[in-house]
A = this chain, B = another copy of it.
Amino acid sequence: MSRHTPHLADDSSRRMELVRAAARLFRDQGYERTTVRDLGNAVGLQSGSLFYHFRTKEEMLVAVMALGISSTTEQLEAALKAAKGARARLSALFHVHLNSLLGENQAALEVMLYEWHSLSDATRPGLIILRDRYEALWQQVLDEAAAEGLVKPDTHLLRRSLLGSLHWTVQWYKRDGELSVSELADRLLALALTA
């Protein structure tokens, strides 16, 4: 594996530090408006030095997105394994998604949602695979839940509808309000239930 690979395996601490800083900056300022000098400053490096760790700026964007979606997928897999029954698994969908999107992985996931069109055609497919893996977990659980009558049977459209709802929270949810992330997850789940 070359030392320029964007995969997660050999991520030195410097690389991870950079990815995390990039996630925050890309989210706050947008990918285009974030300069490599900004990125360098954020980790105490000259802009030229970044190119030892990443071949291009876009590679940093890809790394940010991959981190966001992968770690959320891993969390969801773990939560689903632990959950007993369709109802609990359905609940896990909402809780893991919102905890990730509105919490730890917020920056990376927002970048994933809003900088999709900053990707070149060459890099998009790799991320689509990661995204599809995540959505496949959702589909499975929704199908189970529909089989038990917990949600309406139009699960394909339901998956898209729910993911749209949850993604959108990022635009209006305020951490410092009276509504906790967990309560929000419960209330959004309630809206989706048949009864």
A residues whose Cβ falls under 8 Å from a Cβ of B: 29-30, 32-33, 114, 117-118, 152, 154, 157-158, 160-169, 171-172, 187-188, 190-191
What residues of B have a CB within 8 angstroms of the CB of A172 in the complex? 160
Q: Is the CB of B161 within 8 A of A191?
A: yes
Provide the bound-state CA to CA distance between A118 and B118, in Å: 14
Q: Is the CB of B30 within 8 A of A191?
A: no
What secondary structure prevails in chain A residues at the interface with B?
A: helix
Q: Is the CB of A166 within 8 A of B164?
A: yes
Q: From residue A159, how far is it (CB to closest CB) to chain B in Å? A: 10
* Identical copies in the complex: 4
What residues of B have a CB within 8 angstroms of the CB of A114 in the complex? 114, 117
Q: From residue A133, how far is it (CB to closest CB) to chain B in Å? A: 16
Provide the bound-state CA to CA distance between A57 and B32, in Å: 16
With both beta carbons as reference points, the residue of chain B lying nearest to A32 in the complex is identified as B32
With both beta carbons as reference points, the residue of chain B lying nearest to A166 in the complex is identified as B164
Q: Is the CB of A191 within 8 A of B32?
A: no
Which of B29, B169, B171, B190 has a CB less than 8 Å from the CB of A154? B190
Given contacts A164-B169, A165-B165, A167-B168, contact A152 B191 (CB under 8 A): yes
Which of B157, B164, B187 has a CB less than 8 Å from the CB of A187? B157
Q: Is the CB of A161 within 8 A of B188?
A: yes
Given contacts A32-B32, A114-B114, A167-B168, contact A190 B152 (CB under 8 A): yes
Provide the bound-state CA to CA distance between A190 and B152, in Å: 9
26 contacts between A and B (CB under 8 A): A29-B117, A30-B32, A30-B117, A32-B32, A32-B33, A33-B118, A114-B114, A114-B117, A152-B190, A154-B190, A154-B191, A157-B187, A157-B188, A158-B191, A160-B168, A160-B172, A161-B165, A161-B188, A161-B191, A163-B168, A164-B164, A164-B168, A164-B171, A165-B165, A165-B168, A167-B168
